Structure 1
Amino acid sequence: MTNGTQVRTLDAGALKALAHPLRVKIFDLLAARGPQTASSLAALVGETSGSTSYHLRALAAHDLIREVEGRGTARERWWERPKGRIDVPGPDEMTSPANRAAAQIVNSEFFRLRHETLMAYVNRPQADVPEEWRDTGVIMTTHLDLTPEQAVSLRDELEAIVEGAIERYRGQTGPDVRRVSLRTELFDLSTPSTASSAPATDSEEEA
């Protein structure tokens, strides 16, 4: 648990079940768009409903998704992602070649979809955005000179902000509510800081 939010680390079985580009896409769409049927997902990903139904069952077999209670029929089932966060192990955390390959597929596809979503946002014509939603987003990159301890402290502060937002807005509905993507990134650039030999400067790019 992190600030009340359940975190699930995927085991080898769940990782292998997810290790297919279309399954990662379906998993991501259920998070971004909420509950869907095999037919609605088929329309979104350009596949047949038979294909999406097969992949949905594979995901459900490892509790990666679940059927929505009290919704749908025997012919048209609704599926959703359980609440909470998932932790996808990196390839170097896996002990077998098959598990490492599965982790590589899942991680690569998640980040590919993340970049795809970001670029769709960047290239979206303003005319397609309701006026009240214009200028609500921010893309910011800041380069800092930190010690490992400071990086951990900053990471914890950012996590606390995100967790607080999750608790405040979880399950919110209404005519003005729209799903948004909240992203937080903090990582070192693998090169020593020059702060010891020159004044430290912060470079910032914002769009």
Structure 2
Amino acid sequence: MEEASDTQDVRTGDDNRILDGAALKALAHPLRVQLLEVLSSYGPQTACSIGKRVGESSGSTSYHLRQLARHGLVREVPDRGSARERWWERPSGSLTLSTPELEQDPTTREATRQVNRQFERGRSEALATFMASGCESVPPEWADAAVIATMNAYLTPAQLAALTRDMSTILREKLDAYRSEPGTPGTRPVQVHFNAFPLIDPQESS
């Protein structure tokens, strides 16, 4: 399994949104990141259905969904639901969480770190769950189609920037070609993780 996530800092494509400080601070709450991840993974949900997934009351999830909606991070699904039961979805596209301007402000810098930590926690938990029971909990064809891969290389900053840019473009093009609507027969939620970063050698800092 791998992911070019629609919720990560991907600077390619026309549907990328750079979060401003207010939106970033609004997202810097563990439950709100969870709500965004649920909508990204499973498609439109009600406050009640999301609450069951994350172990929270519908009142709590409804409140946090409204806060996210104030900043355009989620939105109500048009022509679906009722006054008593709203349906929510995540707008398509990627989110950029960090820019040089945002990094200059200590409060937005800390908000970025909080959001990224929560995203990473969610990815780690999803991967750990798959590794612990994936082959037993999904049909064989799904287990055979999954892959967990790590590749190592020595790169310059320019090479790493080019690699992440090119891979993000390729992954997004492929995902757009295969992407199905939630609930399409024969499909299930899939995550694709793509990680590329320089390793910090402790011996070099000692």
* Pairwise same-fold verdict (TM > 0.5): yes
Structure 1 residue 4: Cα displacement: 4.5
Is 1:130 paired with 2:110?
no
Could you say if the C-alpha distance between residues 2 and 94 of structure 1 is closer, same or farther in structure 2, counting changes exceeding 3 Å?
closer
Matches within 5 A, 1:16-55: 16-55=25-64
Matches within 5 A, 1:121-200: 121-172=130-181, 174-191=184-201
**SS state of the match for residue 185, structure 1?**
coil
Number of aligned residue pairs: 191
- The two structures have a TM-score, normalised by structure 1, of 0.83
Q: Take 2:36 and 2:70, find their aligned partners in 1: how far apart are those partners? A: 13
**SS state of the match for residue 99, structure 1?**
helix
Could you say if the C-alpha distance between residues 99 and 113 of structure 1 is closer, same or farther in structure 2, counting changes exceeding 3 Å?
same
Q: Is the 8 A contact 1:91 1:99 kept in 2?
A: no
**SS state of the match for residue 167, structure 1?**
helix
In structure 1, the gaps of 5 or more residues are 192-207
Structure 1 residue 3: Cα displacement: 6.2
Q: Is the 8 A contact 1:90 1:103 kept in 2?
A: no
CA RMSD of aligned residues (A): 2.2
**SS state of the match for residue 133, structure 2?**
coil
Could you say if the C-alpha distance between residues 144 and 95 of structure 1 is closer, same or farther in structure 2, counting changes exceeding 3 Å?
closer
Partner of 1:197: none
In structure 2, the gaps of 5 or more residues are 1-9, 202-206
Deviates more, 1:35-44 or 1:170-179: 170-179
Q: Take 1:188 and 1:149, find their aligned partners in 2: how far apart are those partners? A: 12
Deviates more, 1:2-11 or 1:47-56: 2-11
**SS state of the match for residue 123, structure 1?**
helix
Q: Take 1:29 and 1:55, find their aligned partners in 2: how far apart are those partners? A: 13
Larger helix percent: 2
* 1:20-41 deviations in Å (ceiling 9; x for gaps): 1101111111101111101011
Question: Which letter maps to 1:82?
Answer: P
Deviates more, 1:118-127 or 1:54-63: 118-127
Q: Is the 8 A contact 2:21 2:102 kept in 1?
A: no
Q: Take 1:32 and 1:172, find their aligned partners in 2: how far apart are those partners? A: 11
Structure 1 residue 149: Cα displacement: 3.8
* 1:151-194 deviations in Å (ceiling 9; x for gaps): 33332331232021132023446321222111111112145xxx
- Quick check: which has more Rg, 1 or 2? 1
Q: Take 2:78 and 2:101, find their aligned partners in 1: how far apart are those partners? A: 38
- The two structures have a TM-score, normalised by structure 2, of 0.84
